[in-house]
Structure 1
């Protein structure tokens, strides 16, 4: 088992590291590789039409990149100092194409932890997310923007049958089987029209308490309804399949409707 944590924003780095640490603790302390993907070229000058940066602008860009790396490295060191002795960690910085760098690293990890993108984030943040989820086809943990005492002790499955959810549940199996309680949230057009998911009985056979939470979909904002039910259940990790690229990225970056990923609440385990 290998966990990769992506640090690309100073203000969210602590939550990303805390989530990675909680996951590792629940999985028997596998090594955590912490990556800071650095911009190699100034994003303000990516095409010939944008011209060339002046020496002063090149210096400013280099200073900004260096200062950000220093700040993130300091956050990592402080977090590392609070870990137990048996938790192995590694810090790396790689400059270059953000999306390709993250995809390459995520392919060699079992789980990749990133913080939740926000609509105000630079393009590099969405590139990192797309590199992990779509290019690498990795299991992605979207860390929330707040502290959580536990991650994975009480998983909540957002039930919507798909190959993506099957892959997400397979990746979440170590958490599901170790959990004291698992909730399965099912949104339905009519009451009790969806059969109980087979995984419910499979987990019960392994001694896990499983609760089925059904609700009749009352609005077009199903994501928000799922979020509310997951919070009410007391969950600390939402397991869901990633939708097609355009819709999922829209959700993450604050599309026209609110949803489960536009709130700083639960960490989310997902797979495309």
Structure 2
């Protein structure tokens, strides 16, 4: 994780998400990019409106982008005060998930924050997680979580999403004093490929210097999210690593599942990867 991206919903002040990202960048000696996204003019003014209204909207967007761009020195200074010694500031126009998906191409991790309105925030976070090709770290709306927690919980069911999430979180796992693998019901990937022997998570982690302990997690699909958060709390984990959308992405998002529950209710940071 050498390049961390933090989405900032404001350019006047910076909140929990960017602050956590700055502390994490400092701990990992990584570079931090703060990003503010202005809405696209086309999204604000339908094409059937008058030219005068379009001109007014375009001028307003132009002033907003100029003001946001001018915040660069202040953000770099603020990020440095929070630990990030290598920081930059970007401003873009467009649909938020599309912008994050594009700029994510040159970053290793996207840091987002959950708002205090769980369901609305979870829906937007889920939309973003489906649009980007990099891991997402979701910061809860309360508390001051450590960017390098002593204990990290890992959700494991053998799915490709879980493997990708663990692979992405390796730099954090290597720094933890304790890693606890929460092993649920194995989920076979929908593929014709059959590995022999099967992927061994413990061997993989040991190869990368991570010694983990395992705890069985017995819960139905409907209770998996709640069980994951309860088990993470029992081991006093300061971070949860999990794959997102372990079933078909459509069915899990719109009909419940562990991903949606964790996005809505986690009180610790969560690294997710779909």
Say if 2:22 and 2:79, in contact at 8 Å, map to a contact too. Answer: no
Q: Is residue 2:161 matched to residue 1:164?
A: yes
C-alpha deviation, 1:163, in angstroms: 1.0
**Residues 12 and 226 from structure 1, CA distance in 2 versus in 1: closer, same or farther, beyond 3 angstroms?**
farther
Say if 1:187 and 1:226, in contact at 8 Å, map to a contact too. Answer: no
Task: Give the secondary structure class of the aligned counterpart of 1:165.
Answer: helix
Where does residue 242 of structure 1 map in the other structure?
Answer: 244
User: CA-to-partner distance for each residue in 1:15-53, whole Å, 9 max, x for gaps?
Assistant: 1112212322342x11101111111326453464xx458
Say if 2:76 and 2:88, in contact at 8 Å, map to a contact too. Answer: no
Task: Give the secondary structure class of the aligned counterpart of 1:225.
Answer: helix
RMSD: 4.0
Counterpart CA distance in 2 for 1:72 and 1:42 is: 24
Say if 1:13 and 1:72, in contact at 8 Å, map to a contact too. Answer: no
Among 109, 113, 126, the alignment partner of 1:111 is: 109
Task: Give the secondary structure class of the aligned counterpart of 2:169.
Answer: helix
Task: Give the secondary structure class of the aligned counterpart of 1:148.
Answer: coil
Counterpart CA distance in 2 for 1:188 and 1:93 is: 43
Task: Give the secondary structure class of the aligned counterpart of 1:5.
Answer: strand
TM-score normalised according to structure 2 size: 0.73
Say if 1:19 and 1:151, in contact at 8 Å, map to a contact too. Answer: yes
Task: Give the secondary structure class of the aligned counterpart of 2:15.
Answer: helix
Where does residue 31 of structure 1 map in the other structure?
Answer: 31
TM-score normalised according to structure 1 size: 0.74
Where does residue 5 of structure 2 map in the other structure?
Answer: 4
**Residues 54 and 119 from structure 1, CA distance in 2 versus in 1: closer, same or farther, beyond 3 angstroms?**
farther
Where does residue 15 of structure 1 map in the other structure?
Answer: 16
Unpaired runs of 5+ residues, structure 2, are 187-198
Say if 1:142 and 1:269, in contact at 8 Å, map to a contact too. Answer: yes
**Residues 101 and 219 from structure 1, CA distance in 2 versus in 1: closer, same or farther, beyond 3 angstroms?**
closer
1:21-170 equivalent positions in 2, closer than 5 A: 21-27=22-28, 29-41=29-41, 43-46=43-46, 48=48, 51=49, 54=53, 58=57, 62=61, 65=64, 69=68, 76=75, 79-84=78-83, 87-116=85-114, 118-120=118-120, 130=127, 133-153=129-149, 154-170=151-167
**Residues 264 and 242 from structure 1, CA distance in 2 versus in 1: closer, same or farther, beyond 3 angstroms?**
closer
**Residues 136 and 218 from structure 1, CA distance in 2 versus in 1: closer, same or farther, beyond 3 angstroms?**
closer
Where does residue 261 of structure 1 map in the other structure?
Answer: 263
Say if 1:35 and 1:93, in contact at 8 Å, map to a contact too. Answer: yes
Q: How many residues align?
A: 254
Unpaired runs of 5+ residues, structure 1, are 190-196
Among 231, 238, 241, the alignment partner of 1:229 is: 231
Where does residue 180 of structure 2 map in the other structure?
Answer: 183
Where does residue 189 of structure 2 map in the other structure?
Answer: none
C-alpha deviation, 1:182, in angstroms: 0.5
Counterpart CA distance in 2 for 1:217 and 1:43 is: 43
C-alpha deviation, 1:239, in angstroms: 0.9
Counterpart CA distance in 2 for 1:271 and 1:25 is: 23
C-alpha deviation, 1:54, in angstroms: 3.9
